[in-house]
Amino acid sequence: MKKEITCIVCPMGCRMTAEICPDGPKVTGNTCRRGVDYAVAELTAPTRTVTSTVRLSGGGSVSVKTREPIAKDKIFDLMRILRTATADAPVRIGDMILSDVFGTDIVATAEAGKEA
Partner 1 sequence: MCEKHDIVIIGGGPAGLAAAVAAYDAGVTDVVVIDREEAPGGVLRQCIHNGFGLHKLGRELTGPEYAAVYAKEAARRGIRILRETMVTALSPDRVVTACSREGILKIEAGAVILAMGCRERSRGALNISGTRPAGIFSAGTAQRLINCEGYMVGKKAVILGSGDIGLIMARRMTLEGAKVEAVCELMPYSGGLTRNIVQCLEDFDIPLYLSTTVAEIHGRQRLEGVTLISVDENRRPIPGTERYIGCDTLLLSCGLIPENELSLGAGIPLDGITGGALVDERRETEIPGIFACGNVLQVHDLVDYVSDEAELAGRSAADFVRGISPAGKTLPVFAEKGVRYCLPQRIHAGASAPVELYMRVAQPRERVKIVARSGERILAEVSRRRVAPGEMEKITLKPDALCGAEEICVSLEDL
Q: Which residues bind partner 1 (CB under 8 A)?
A: 6, 8, 11-13, 31, 48-53, 55, 60-61, 63, 65, 72, 75-76, 79, 93, 109-111, 116
CB-nearer residue toward partner 1: 92 or 103 = 92
- In the chain, what is the greatest distance between 2 CA atoms, to the nearest angstrom? 59
Long-range contacts of 46-50 (CB under 8 A, 24+ apart): 46/71, 46/72, 47/71, 47/72, 48/72, 48/75, 50/75, 50/78, 50/79
* Nearest distance in Å: CB 25, partner 1: 19
* Nearest distance in Å: CB 61, partner 1: 5
* Nearest distance in Å: CB 48, partner 1: 7
